[in-house]
Amino acid sequence: MNRVVHPIEVESYRRLRARLDTSHFPPLTRAVVERVVHSAADLEYADDLVMDEGELAKAHTALHSGAPVVVDVEMVAAGITRRETVCRLGDAVAGPELTRSAHAIRLAYEQVGPGALWVIGNAPTALEELLTLDAAPALVIGLPVGFVGAVESKAALRESGLPAVSNVSEKGGSAVASAALNALLYHPVPHTEETL
């Protein structure tokens, strides 16, 4: 993907790296950490985020091979400007045992099936619902924000064994969730030599 980087972003990253040493992170982890920190202007994310480089590499391949990207809210979709996303919140209905966000996740799974990248930055109940499905995701970016259920839903994601990007604290939100996906989207695809 050829992307023109604005001089303000270049300067922002220069200042970020002057204040935070990210050189010890492997490439995709570094890309995610830096883009999340950049999106929130919050250096604490460097110690708060949890991810695995091998899982990120597989997700990077899936993303660049055309795997669907599902988001929990339109605010996350708005932050992902170079890729079509699926958001079913507009079609979802709350019920006595199901929040509207959780119903939207069910609808999205019915639409895309297994193998998608899921980007959840708003509702802990969306992440909780995803964990009940047999979604076999390429990656779950689980960064919902809030004081009720956010920490617990992210802990459940890490305990699930699914490939994931999460964080330990209450922090999160649409901007950082879309930033984590964009880090993988903008990261170069390695060129491979075909053997005859």
Give the span between the Cα atoms of 188 and 166, in whole angstroms: 22
Indicate the pLDDT class of residue 57, thresholds 50, 70 and 90.
Answer: very high
Average pLDDT over the chain, rounded to whole?
93
Contact 185, 2 (CB under 8 A): no
Task: Tell me the two tokens of residue 196.
Answer: 């005859």
Mean pLDDT for the stretch of residues 112-139: 96
Give the span between the Cα atoms of 63 and 116, in whole angstroms: 8
Contact 154, 127 (CB under 8 A): yes
Task: Tell me the two tokens of residue 72.
Answer: 């929990």
Task: Tell me the two tokens of residue 30.
Answer: 């570094």
Half-sphere exposure of 101 (CA within 13 A, CB side): 17
The pLDDT score that the predictor gives to residue 196 is 37
The pLDDT score that the predictor gives to residue 189 is 81
Pairing mode of beta strands 164-167, 117-120: unpaired
Mean pLDDT for the stretch of residues 123-128: 96
CA dihedral 96, 97, 101, 103 (to 10 degrees): -100
Q: Is residue 195's pLDDT more than 70?
A: no
Choice among 6, 24, 38, 103 that is catalytic: 38
Indicate the pLDDT class of residue 1, thresholds 50, 70 and 90.
Answer: low
User: Closest Cα partner for 177 from 149, 140, 151, 126?
Assistant: 140
Give the span between the Cα atoms of 60 and 28, in whole angstroms: 9
Indicate the pLDDT class of residue 181, thresholds 50, 70 and 90.
Answer: very high
Catalytic site residue 38?
A: yes
The pLDDT score that the predictor gives to residue 194 is 43
Give the span between the Cα atoms of 118 and 142, in whole angstroms: 8
The pLDDT score that the predictor gives to residue 96 is 87
CA dihedral 43, 5, 28, 163 (to 10 degrees): 90
Look at 82 and 31; give whichever has higher pLDDT. Answer: 31
For residue range 60-92, what is the model confidence (pLDDT) as tens digits?
A: 999 999 999 999 999 999 999 889 999 999 999
